[in-house]
Amino acid sequence: MSQSIRFECPRPAVLLDGILSRLLFAARTLQARSPRAGMMLRRIVLVVWWTLTLQLGMQFGYWRRARRLRRTERPAVSPALIGAVDAASLRVPCAEHPAVSVIIPTYGKVDYTLRCLASIVAHAPDTPIEVIVVDDASPDPDVVWLARVAGIRLLRNCDNLGFVRACNAAARIARGDFLLFLNNDTQVLPGWLDSMLALFRSRDDVGAVGSQLLYPDGRLQEAGGIIWNDASGWNFGRHEDPDRPGYSYVREVDYCSGASLMVPRPLFARIGGFDERYVPAYFEDSDLCFRLRAMGLKTLYQPRSRVVHYEGVSHGQDVAVGVKSYQVSNRKTFLATWGAVLARDHYENGTHVMRARERARHRPVILVVDHMVPTPDRDAGSRTMVSFLKALVAAGLVVKFWPQNLARPAGYTEALQDMGIEVFYGAAQPSAGIWLREHGAELDAILLSRPDVADEWLPGLRQHTGARVVYYGHDLHFRRMRLQGEVMQDEAMLRAADRMEERERAIWRKVDAALYPSDEEASMVAVMEPSATPRAVVPYGFESFAAPRSAPPDREILFVAGFGHPPNEEAACWFVRAVLPMVRARVPDARLAIVGSNPTDRVRALVGDAVQLYADVSDAELADWYSRARVAVVPLRCGAGVKLKVVEALCEGLPLVTTVIGAQGLPDLASIVPVESHPAAFARAVCALLLDDELWQRRSADQLGYARARFQAETLSRALLDACGIALVARLPMAA
């Protein structure tokens, strides 16, 4: 559904959301004049809203958690850093060749500056740094204590330059490749700097990176900033729990606060530093981010970088007096400078918050739902899902991921968040129905994965969104179950396959497109259910492929499998008992390495002189197995869909022997790979590759050619975007 239609025909939920946003904005405006009255109005508005929308109980739970954070659980700042700091005892890291120059402008408040420096000492980064402290001609006699801090470069200004000019002056003497502007009323937490630098190291489209800012009691102060079309701004997430999903992933934002902001030094110099039209302070950080964006560079919010900020210490909080008054006048300057961009690319104040926080005015938003967060080192389905997610992110979409179990597996969740994907988790997460009621109008597409997920989401989906709904089946489940029942002569499995067929047919009729990993499966769907819209999509996309190589001398046979999938257990048992003895009769030193996750007792029982088991190996260890093995085998006798272990062997150039089931969905594979289902024929094909170096090298080259022609990441991306109804992602226009 196009955005123009959404704007012309707003839904009641969108209208009510707009009313709420305006009332909250009125409360914030009142709070600037009368803090107590403004806070009271805000509380009344929220309680009434939550009562009407049946959220009061959920929000009460959030409040109780926030109170625990404030009172008992954890202050964000270590108690050791709260009291007075002995300047003479501090020794700040100072590298001869720093990668990052940390610039701390100060004007009085020496006690806060010393605590900031103490936090840097306590949480020194792995990256070599220098710390430049700028004394901006403060009349405070305590500034003499700064000279006693070992390791800092102390820059003393003869005249008070203000924040903007002081930062620019320090940047001119900095030696680091990057500049990190850090307020003196901050205290850094573990990982604060290295995580920011990591985004620059891993991407080439980044102009600035900002931190997650916290209040001293642990509540969130800012998770990136939103600028509305009237040049007003929001500190997104203010007063919330910083660990909630919406604040815990890398995200492109309108701006990040200059309280903790990293920029490449040559780039900062090239654009002339902070614009001195904003002297002495305020809106210079927003303007910098807008200028970088006009060059095609993004500002990213990095939640792994956590910094405590004592808001208002430097300039107070009253916008009517002192330096703080420049927040009002500089907003007018900013609006005059960027008015055309704001009108084109930004929303009206307080509206479309989910899109505004992502800079998604011109980008499609897609919700992806699977049974759990993908674990790509454990199962093939997860590898496919990660390939899909990478393709969607690379194409410029805003991606939301909803695991059906709402679990947050360590490492795997963070991997998606670091890609820029919001991952939903936790018992406090609103139900899917509530979330869709609030945000469904903002979605352009929804990708559902697996029958169980589709069955749960489809009944109410059309009530809350006009998004295109796409289903990815991974394989034809009923077909795999039927084959498994036939091989094992399991009547219960055959009856379950019949029930699964009915479920899958019902799903195909309800979705806008049904995706499968091969033309063969898509064609079967078209024949079985003529009203369906099946599409074939490449299930795995690879950026690189193995280089040509010579045959290794070892006689290692490799079987890679995840044994949470029953057909793999049956395949391992069949190969070890029916095929391997014939192979060893001809090649006595041949050995089988079973490499995979979740091995069952039946698989463990196969281990012996000629069979070794290696469970739950890392990606690096698996790559090592592929590089040194002589032959890959995929002896599946039941299953469906394109098999990852087959595709991996092709991409690695490791000669392969498989069965008809293993070759499913891969047209013409039999022309370059032995496809054998009889034990004797399978054994002969394996022995030929173990003994004939010339045959091995020829097969290796043929497999690499086959893989390059079919499993490029770009091929996957094109097919997936087309199926989701997104032929071309709209890119944010550059400013003139």
Asked which of 507, 536, 565 is the last residue of a domain, the reply is 536
Same domain membership, residue 389 and residue 329: no
The three-class DSSP label of residue 87 is helix
pLDDT at 122 over 60: yes
pLDDT at 2 over 60: no
Q: What is the pTM of this model?
A: 0.81
pLDDT computed for residue 142 by the predictor: 83
pLDDT computed for residue 55 by the predictor: 66
pLDDT band at 729 (very low <50, low <70, confident <90, very high): very low
pLDDT computed for residue 34 by the predictor: 67
- The string of pLDDT tens digits covering residues 637-651 is 988 888 999 999 999
Same domain membership, residue 679 and residue 576: yes
- The string of pLDDT tens digits covering residues 140-169 is 888 889 999 999 999 999 888 889 999 999
Question: How far is it, in rounded angstroms, from Cα 605 to Cα 621?
Answer: 23
Residue 544 included in any domain: no
pLDDT computed for residue 530 by the predictor: 95
Asked which of 329, 356, 383 is the last residue of a domain, the reply is 356
Q: Return phi, psi of residue 287, to 5°.
A: -60, -40
Residue 722 included in any domain: no
Mean pLDDT of 17-26: 62
Which of 37-51, 342-356, 532-546 shows the lowest mean pLDDT across its residues? 37-51
Mean pLDDT of 59-64: 63
pLDDT at 344 over 60: yes
Same domain membership, residue 326 and residue 370: no
Mean pLDDT of 211-227: 96
pLDDT computed for residue 736 by the predictor: 30
pLDDT band at 33 (very low <50, low <70, confident <90, very high): low
- Asked if the peptide bond before residue 280 counts as cis, ω within 30 degrees of 0, the response is yes
pLDDT computed for residue 19 by the predictor: 65
For the chain, give the percent of residues with pLDDT over 70. 87
- The string of pLDDT tens digits covering residues 362-405 is 999 999 999 999 998 888 889 999 999 999 999 999 999 999 99
pLDDT computed for residue 24 by the predictor: 63
pLDDT at 499 over 90: yes
Chain-centroid distance of CA 432 in Å reads 20
* Residue owning tokens 């490492």: 411
Concatenated DSSP letters of 517-550: SSHHHHHHHHHH-TTS-EEE--S--BS--PPP-P
Question: How far is it, in rounded angstroms, from Cα 557 to Cα 649?
Answer: 12
pLDDT computed for residue 178 by the predictor: 98
User: Comparing 77 with 41, which gets the higher pLDDT?
Assistant: 41
Asked whether the beta carbons of 350 and 22 are under 8 A apart, the reply is: yes
For the chain, give the percent of residues with pLDDT over 90. 70
Residue 78 included in any domain: no
Number of domains in the chain: 4
Mean pLDDT of 179-203: 97
pLDDT at 294 over 80: yes
What is the average pLDDT score of the chain? 88
pLDDT at 223 over 70: yes
Range of the domain at 483: 365-536
Residue 429 included in any domain: yes
pLDDT band at 732 (very low <50, low <70, confident <90, very high): very low
Residue 58 included in any domain: no
Same domain membership, residue 568 and residue 498: no
Query: Whose CA is closest to 515, among 542, 483, 541, 538?
Result: 538
pLDDT at 5 over 50: no
Same domain membership, residue 585 and residue 489: no
CATH number at residue 406: 3.40.50.2000
pLDDT band at 28 (very low <50, low <70, confident <90, very high): low
Mean pLDDT of 183-193: 96
Same domain membership, residue 606 and residue 506: no
pLDDT computed for residue 108 by the predictor: 83
349: its two tokens: 């104040």
CA atoms within 13 A on the CB side of 260: 33
- The string of pLDDT tens digits covering residues 587-598 is 999 999 999 888
Residue 604 included in any domain: yes
CATH number at residue 187: 3.90.550.10
Residue 543 included in any domain: no
pLDDT at 427 over 90: no
Residue 56 included in any domain: no
H-only helix segments in 579-618: 580-586, 601-604
Handedness of CA 144, 146, 151, 155 (dihedral sign): negative
Same domain membership, residue 651 and residue 695: yes
Q: Return phi, psi of residue 487, to 5°.
A: -65, -40
Same domain membership, residue 176 and residue 313: yes
Same domain membership, residue 219 and residue 95: yes
Asked which of 328, 356, 384 is the last residue of a domain, the reply is 356
User: Comparing 65 with 19, which gets the higher pLDDT?
Assistant: 19
Mean pLDDT of 131-136: 95
Q: What angle do CA 220, 262, 390 make, to 5 degrees?
A: 80
Mean pLDDT of 696-723: 93
Question: How far is it, in rounded angstroms, from Cα 662 to Cα 461?
Answer: 36
pLDDT computed for residue 578 by the predictor: 97
Same domain membership, residue 33 and residue 131: no
Residue 735's contacts (CB-CB under 8 Å, 6 or more residues apart) are 290, 293, 294, 338, 340, 341
Same domain membership, residue 252 and residue 167: yes
pLDDT at 18 over 90: no
Same domain membership, residue 570 and residue 526: no
User: Comparing 432 with 253, which gets the higher pLDDT?
Assistant: 253
Q: How many residues does the chain have?
A: 736
CB atoms within 10 A of CB 78: 15
pLDDT computed for residue 327 by the predictor: 74
Question: How far is it, in rounded angstroms, from Cα 431 to Cα 436?
Answer: 9
Which of 44-48, 51-55, 393-397, 705-709 shows the lowest mean pLDDT across its residues? 51-55
